[in-house]
Each structure stands twice: as structure tokens, then as C-alpha cells.
Amino acid sequence: MSIWDRKKPSFGFISTRFAGLDGVSLETKKWAELLSSKGCPVYFMAGQLDTDPAISHLAPKAFFKHEEIVEVQRAIFVEKKRTPEISRKVQQLKEELKDEISKFYSKFEFEILVVENALAIPVNIPLGLAITEFIIETELPTIAHHHDFFWERERFYSPISSDYLRAAFPPVHPKIQHVVINSIAGQQFGSFTGASWTLIPNVVDFKVLPPQPDDYNRDFKKDIGLDPDSLLVLQPTRVVSRKGIETAVEIVKRLDHPKASLVISHKSGDEGQDYLMRIEEFVELMNVDLKIISDRIGLKRGFDENGKKIYTLWDVYQHADLITYPSAYEGYGNAFVEAIYFRKPIAINRYSIFVADIEPKGFDVISFNTYITQNKVNKINDLLKNPERIVQMTEKNYMLGWRYLSYEMLEEKIEQLLINYYGS
């Protein structure tokens, strides 16, 4: 008898936001979907939410873009000047947020807390401190799901933040089980804290076949300004410098196709507009057709205020001919998992996590080291002219994804975490 037959614990998820297409929100929804399918109630608290209000608790100051949070974060990580007023403000916000967590807990009385990245990357220091104190004071069993740590982001190095970072990013406590999404992060976490960790990479429900083009999205290419015979090269990421989008532009430029276009699905996000301007200037210099369609992508299909169709990311993947993934760094690679799920060929940079955790599993991709060479361009061109080879490659990747990156794998991993709490 599995633990799922004996226990149906309820789970309370906390983060800065559960909304939109960011990796933390997407992976949280997958965990929640799996847990719900096992009969476990799930609840959500964040500063920005698109979850069902009936199972949610909105705490605006948990959002990392709340004006009061931005004020203290700027003082600590940008100005690097911590006055007594800033320290008092951090403590005040911590107490306010701890009260919100207590309200969330009292409202839903969940049995296990799941903290999504809020105890790993300090985009909201008061929230991390509040969660940590709440766990210590209640001794509530907690799964801390870490997607990226502060030591992986240069902007979080600040000599005046060390006490906060050591206290809560991440905290170590007997009631906290730590989950990382790649083995390198796990090793670094272990060295930093001395605590044990569980590896759970990003997942997709491979047993559900990916959707096929339908009447709604059949004219997607035309709708974004492409011809039916255009070659759609998809960069399914945000426009930030670590994504290496210059290399994607170069690949499109060097393809043997008169109508190759680069389509970017996400906006620049919270890291500024300078890199977006850089890419727009670069595509003009390279004379490459670029479509940034973030304003046409949403969580659900529908229409915007001008009557234009809103598509999901799933709609976009269906029409892609090639996925480019030239990132210098990724926590794991959500776009990689999605690309193999949709059986699309991938040109990918061998970033460190890919080399450590993905490449050894035998995925069939066109990989390169930092920059693209003519030899790699020739391989991409040859592949795009060989539909049978694409089918062979992508079917192999799909089956490997099912083995290593599926809901079945996620279920086994969470089951082990529950056994650690409840016993076998």
C-alpha cells in the first residue's frame, strides 16, 4: 500500500507570486495538479495570484514589486546602505507578512507548507524572514522548493545583507526538507548549509499527448505576420542577457531558408530593457526577421482589447519548426522540457546544468559550446531538410522525457518526501 492510500495531506504553497508564465509559477501548478490528482487539497498564498480565489490568500506585500518591498530591496542590494530605518522597516514588513502567513494557515489549516523559491532567492527579504520564523514557531512540516539561489545571481551580493541571507536564504531546520532542481545547485546548497537535499527537475505530463493545431490556432503564423511556408524558429524564453539570444539571431541568419524568422515568446521581465534594445538593434544589423509576441501570449486563449487573439505558449510550440536555447545559464531548463514534449528539434548551448544533468541521459539534440560554428549550422540545415530524422530524434527525446522528467517521476519523489514525514 502506497502512502497515497493512507494519507491525503493538504498542502499550502507560498511564494512572491503565482501568476503568469514564469518558471516558478508554472512548476508550482504542475506540483499542485499532481497533488490534486492524488486527492490532496492545495492552497496558495502570494502577492500576485491567478489561482482560484476560493483556495487562495492574497498578501500584496509578498509580491517582490510591492513599493515597500522595492524600497528595502533597493537600499540593500543597489545602494548597499543599511540605515537603522531600513532595518526597522525590514522587521516591520516581516511581522506584517508573518501575520498574513498565520491568516493563510488559520484559514485553510493545511498540513504541509511548500515554499516556492521564497527561501532561495532574496527578491523579498521580509517574506523569507517571515516564512522562516513561522516554520520555527509552528514546527509545520515544510518542503522548500528552491529554483535558484542568491549565490547564482551577482546582483544579490551585498555586504550588508549577510545576516538576512544566512538566516533565511535558505534556512536549516529539522522540519524543512529541501528540494533543488539541478545537481549543481544541490551540491552548492549542501556546501553552504550542510543540509541534505532532494533533486526534482522540471517536469511535464508526458502521458498526456501534446495538443495538435486546431481551428483556433491554425492561422497562428498568419496572425503574427508570417507566411504559411515561413520557417518559425522559436526562442521560448524571456529577453534577458543570460539567454544568449544573439546566438539565436545568428542561427536564423545562417539557415538555408529564405523565410526564416525568429519568434520570442516572452517579454524582458524584471531585469530592465537594455538587453531588449540590444537585441532589436542586433536583428536590424543582421537583417533578421524578429517577432516578439509576448503581448499575444497568455495563460488562456481569448481576445485582447483590440479583438486580437491571445494564444497560449502551447499554441506557439505547435507551430515551431526549430527551438533555439542558447542560454549561458539555466536553473534546469523549462523550455527544454517543453520542446521535447512537443517533439521539436532543439539547438542548445551546453550550459552547465545541461552538461551535468541532461546530456548524460542521452537526449538527441544539436548542442554547441558558447557560440555557433559553420559545422553546427550545417547540421541544423541538414536536419531541417530531413523530416524522417526529425521524427526519429524527437520520438527518442519524448520517451526519455517520459522516463526522467514526467509526473510519474514527480509522484515518486514527493511520495518519498512524505514518507520522510509520516513513515513508510
The least confident of 187-191, 265-269, 394-398 is: 265-269
Q: Residues 359-377: what's their mean pLDDT?
A: 96
pLDDT above 90: percentage of residues in the chain: 88
**Is residue 115 helix, strand or coil?**
strand
Q: 3-203+407-422: what CATH class? A: alpha beta
User: Are residues 146 and 133 in contact, defined by beta-carbon separation less than 8 angstroms?
Assistant: no
Give strand pairing partners of 125.
none
DSSP assignments along 223-288, one per residue:
HTT--TT-EEEEE-S-S-GGG-HHHHHHHHHHSS-TTEEEEE-S--TTS-SHHHHHHHHHHHHHT-
pLDDT of residue 3: 79
For residue 331, what pLDDT is reported? 84
- Residue 154: pLDDT over 90: no
State yes or no: pLDDT of 169 exceeds 60: yes
186 vs 199: CA distance, rounded Å = 7
- The rounded distance, in Å, linking the Cα atoms of 122 and 155 is 10
Neighbours of 271 (CB within 10 A): 15
400 vs 330, more confident: 400
pLDDT band at 270 (very low <50, low <70, confident <90, very high): low
Whole-number Å distance between alpha carbons of 253 and 257: 9
Confidence grade of residue 153 (pLDDT, cut at 50, 70, 90): confident
Q: Can you tell me the mean pLDDT for 261-281?
A: 85
Residue 241 has pLDDT above 60, yes or no: yes
What local confidence, expressed as pLDDT, does residue 22 receive? 84
Q: How confident is the model at residue 66 (pLDDT cuts 50, 70, 90)?
A: very high
- pLDDT digit string (tens) for 4-40? 778 899 999 999 999 987 889 999 999 999 999 999 9
Residue 6 is predicted with a pLDDT of: 81
CA–CA separation, 296 vs 311, rounded Å?
6
- Structure confidence at residue 271 as a pLDDT band (50, 70, 90): low
Average pLDDT value for residue range 368-379: 95
What are the C-alpha distances in Å from 182 to residues 30, 113, 262? Answer: 17, 22, 29
C-beta atoms surrounding 417 within 10 Å: 18
- What pLDDT is stored for residue 269 in this prediction? 62
Its CATH class, for the domain covering 220-404, is alpha beta
Residue 155: count other Cβ atoms within 10 Å of its Cβ: 9
pLDDT in tens, 321-335: 999 999 998 888 889
Percent of the chain past pLDDT 70, that is, above it, reads 99
Note if the pTM is more than 0.75.
Answer: yes
User: Which residue in the block uniquely carries the three cell numbers 526564416?
Assistant: 260
Largest CA distance in the chain: 66
Q: Which of 20-24, 36-40, 288-292, 394-398 has the lowest mean pLDDT?
A: 20-24
Mean pLDDT over residues 346-365, rounded?
Answer: 96
pLDDT exceeds 90 at position 187: yes
Task: Report pLDDT digits (tens) over 74-99.
Answer: 999 999 999 999 999 999 999 999 99
Contact 160, 80 (CB under 8 A): yes
Beta bridge partners of 409: none
Q: Which residues pair with 367 in a beta bridge?
A: 348
Yes or no: say if 312 and 319 are a contact pair by the CB < 8 Å rule: no
Cβ burial 49-69 (10 Å sphere, 16+ → b, else e): bbbeeebbbbbebbbbebeeb
Q: Average pLDDT for residues 381-406, to the nearest whole number?
A: 97
Residues 334 and 202: beta-carbon distance below 8 Å: yes
- Tell me what pLDDT residue 272 has: 63
Residue 310 CA, distance from chain mean position: 21
CATH 3.40.50.2000 domain extents, the chain = 3-203+407-422, 220-404
